[in-house]
Structure 1
Amino acid sequence: MNTSFKIKELNIDVYPKPEEMGKAAADFVENKINEAIESKGVARIILATGASQFTFLKALTIANIDWSKVIVFHLDEYFGISDSHPASFRKYLKDRILEIVNPSESYFLNGDADDIEHEINAYTARLEAHDIDVACIGIGENGHIAFNDPPVADFNDTKLVKLVELDEQCRNQQFGEGWFPTIEAVPKMALTLTIPAIMRSKTISCVVPDERKSEAVYNALYADISTECPASILRTHRDVKLFLDAQSASRLKKK
């Protein structure tokens, strides 16, 4: 059985197992997508990647959604790797969901574009042209959302997309999850949607399993709202739900 509570504007659901958490998040996102399609004929969403999203994306592939009416953006991408690289987030999304559900359109951040400044400007223009109905994100071990690590996170960023340097804890997480053979192989830079780009979404669904995320989850909920834990800003969004499993919620205050 799940446990639900609320801190400021943030709704939190805790599930015993990651599979239950992922299914619940998929049900939530399915409803938001279908509401958008019903009201305006199209839904626009942002999808995240990484090990934390496995159960959610698996459940979303079998959700009752008319994907021909869905436009997909993606959250971030390593700088300098192609979409055929095993760690590419473009490849991850294509393999795990997009080539299964075939949405109307998919927009990708091209981390190995010949002209990164042009890529950033073009992607920014696409974001500015679309209202995002649901942003599906996670929280990193350092509290980041997307690749907005604490040293580069800016709650008042004037950009929607930027090139950032990844901090050591973030790079260690990417290596620890098995995406790269050595820590030296993990890119030091990445393209990311900024925090304002995420926060302008009408709804945010945040899926965070695993004990290694428990400290970041605790800080996101109870620490000061600051860029020391970028995910803490989620407490100010008007429509956000955080999905946890028992392990990621293990440090939370008992209700």
Structure 2
Amino acid sequence: MNIRIFNSADELGEAAAKEASNIMNGKIKENGKVRIVLSTGASQFEFFESFVRQSIDWSKVEMFHLDEYIGLPVAHAASFRKYLQERFVERVGIGKVHFVNGELEPESHIRQLAEEIARADIDLALIGIGENAHIAFNDPPADFETTDPYLIVNLDDNCKLQQVREGWFASLGDVPNQAISMSVQQIMKAEHIISCVPHGVKAGAIRLALEPGVTPVIPASILKQHKNWTLFLDNESSSGIARS
């Protein structure tokens, strides 16, 4: 585990984008391609602004999407497909994209995603951490055991309230109850994991995740077991942890 702390979300996003670029360019040089996983959300805005400006041969990049609400149209402001399309895909000319599509029949779509992601290893996963310490949409208590790459999950009220506070939905009742999410075990299979977690609203989740022990009640705590996990924080999100 490597923790890096910056003065602002902008500095954090730029540093994380450069780190991601270095890993990706190394894999492209080594293998001629790179496979990545991308997260979304308000906490990732600054990262994406820097990420799309990196010098990467995007035609050699294959991207997998972490999660999406079941039944939510792609035109909805909260759609993560819309988020990635506008903030990433349309700006870089990426080689191949695997979106999670919550408008398709979930079970068959999950099988299709599982087949695609199993074709080769994931080199890099960009994994955010929610206010309730979720990773992807694996809310507490998260399933740490399933080896299925994707699964249907029920969203808890804390997760839904975060989406409302961030302005994606007008009210709690507007947030879908279920989503398709990449599983915890699939996330942990990535060779490298980078987590960009700025802003004071995440300070509590970060403090809990970094306390001793690993528990499904704090899903992000499992990231400590990954040998190549780098956590990017700013002054606000790191305010609850001891700093040397």
Would the TM-score normalized by the shorter structure come out above 0.5?
yes
Match of residue 108 from structure 1: 99
> Which residue of 169, 194, 204 corresponds with 2:183?
194
Identity of aligned residues (%): 43
Match of residue 122 from structure 1: 112
Match of residue 74 from structure 1: 65
Give the match's secondary structure for 1:254.
Answer: coil
> Which residue of 159, 166, 170 corresponds with 1:177?
166
Matched, 1:52 2:43: yes
Give the match's secondary structure for 1:174.
Answer: helix
> How far is the alpha carbon of 1:97 from its aligned partner?
0.9
Take 2:209 and 2:91, find their aligned partners in 1: how far apart are those partners? 33
> How far is the alpha carbon of 1:231 from its aligned partner?
0.4
Match of residue 204 from structure 2: 215
> Which residue of 124, 131, 137 corresponds with 1:141?
131
Question: Per-residue CA shift, 1:40-97, capped at 9, x if unaligned?
Answer: 0000101100001000011001001000110111100011012111110000000001
> How far is the alpha carbon of 1:223 from its aligned partner?
4.2
Match of residue 64 from structure 1: 55
One-letter identity of the residue aligned with 2:147: T
Take 2:74 and 2:120, find their aligned partners in 1: how far apart are those partners? 24
> How far is the alpha carbon of 1:16 from its aligned partner?
0.5
Matched, 1:83 2:74: yes
Match of residue 238 from structure 2: 249
> Which residue of 4, 8, 30 corresponds with 2:21?
30
Take 1:83 and 1:197, find their aligned partners in 2: how far apart are those partners? 25
Q: Which runs of 5+ in 2 are unaligned?
A: none
Take 1:46 and 1:158, find their aligned partners in 2: how far apart are those partners? 17
> Which residue of 164, 167, 182 corresponds with 2:153?
164
Take 1:117 and 1:68, find their aligned partners in 2: how far apart are those partners? 30
> How far is the alpha carbon of 1:158 from its aligned partner?
2.4
Give the root-mean-square deviation of aligned CA atoms.
0.8
**Alignment size in residue pairs:** 244
One-letter identity of the residue aligned with 1:183: L
- The runs of at least 4 aligned residues of structure 1 exceeding 4 Å deviation read none
One-letter identity of the residue aligned with 1:155: F
Match of residue 132 from structure 1: 122
Give the match's secondary structure for 2:215.
Answer: coil
Taking structure 2 as the reference length, the TM-score comes to: 0.98
> How far is the alpha carbon of 1:155 from its aligned partner?
1.8
Give the match's secondary structure for 2:97.
Answer: strand
Question: Per-residue CA shift, 1:6-47, capped at 9, x if unaligned?
Answer: xxxx10000011000000000000001001100000001011
> How far is the alpha carbon of 1:254 from its aligned partner?
3.0
One-letter identity of the residue aligned with 1:116: P
One-letter identity of the residue aligned with 1:59: S
Q: Which runs of 5+ in 1 are unaligned?
A: 1-9
> How far is the alpha carbon of 1:224 from its aligned partner?
2.2
> Which residue of 216, 225, 229 corresponds with 1:227?
216
